[in-house]
Amino acid sequence: MKKYFEVKADQYVAGKNFLVYRPASLKNPKNNSVMFIMEKYIDNIDVFRKVKDCLIFWPDKFEIPEDINNMHAVVSCASPHTEFARFFSANSITYLPDIEDVKLVNGAYIAKNAIIGNNCKIFPGVYIGGEVKIGNNVYIGSGAKIVGEVYIGNNVVIRENAVLGVDGLTTDRDENGRALTIPQFGKIIIEDDVQIGVSSIVARGAIDETRICRGSKIDALCWISHNLYIDEDTFVVCGTMTLGSGSIGKRCLVSANSTLMAIHVGDDSIVGAGAVVTK
């Protein structure tokens, strides 16, 4: 399992002599990870009993169960999400893409470790990073950039100047009002027969993944935020903005210039042009 950093847990809780190597979510907990739980998810604490040796930021309004306290380094605090963000700045942890050895193929810059399938059309001006894996019969238009851990299926179309693998924005501040940044460690999964339009942007997951499922079509100038899940055969029309950690069901139509907050849109839904959907 990949290690992103090494931080001693006893910096936070005395006597906890283990290291944490990675972030993890409640949805996908991992051993030796840094995690947090917010008040609204407190009923999900059983996930911490499935792993060991984690650093956990815990809401101070709730008692820490003895068994979880023994298994992990648990820090009680007023704002677990803020303390999770502070963890990275305090330990000088970032996760920006590295400069990689590349080969120039038909004017495209392709990292030597990238995996490219058969019968792909990759145009001049494209950049593909070393953690990218691309299936067969994929079209990548001029100027597209694909960085970070990105998995692209078969028969995918990525139009000109699209960017896959950018970081999503977090909006935490410390007690002095200074902005905090949470590095984005997740990946992107683009399933078969997906289309990504001109100058659209797909952010990688914050911890887990951003996923666009089979057959969905993303129009031009759309922002697909971190952790978004778009189910099969959905249309997202030009100018749409999505916020992180939401989901859109199957066979939906999200019309032009709409904004979706961190919500779930059910199957077969229509979101009208210019709509702002908050719940």
Catalytic residue annotation: 226
Residue 150 pairs in a beta bridge with 132, 188
CB atoms within 10 A of CB 106: 10
The most distant pair of C-alpha atoms in the chain lies apart, rounded to whole Å, by 61
Write a three-state SS string for 36-72: ECCHHHHHHHHHHHHCCCCEEEEECCCCCCHHHHHHC
Residue 67, Cα to own-chain centre: how many angstroms?
31
Q: Which amino acid is at 168?
A: G
* Cβ neighbours around 221 below 10 Å, total: 18
Contacts of 102 (CB under 8 A, 6+ apart): 109, 110, 111, 112, 127
CB atoms within 10 A of CB 27: 10
Q: How far is CA 14 from the centre of its chain?
A: 32
9 φ, ψ (degrees, to nearest 5): -65, -25
Torsion of CA 136, 190, 273, 268, to 10 degrees: 100
**Beta carbons of 210 and 189 less than 8 angstroms apart:** yes
Helix (H, G, I), strand (E, B) or coil at 10: helix
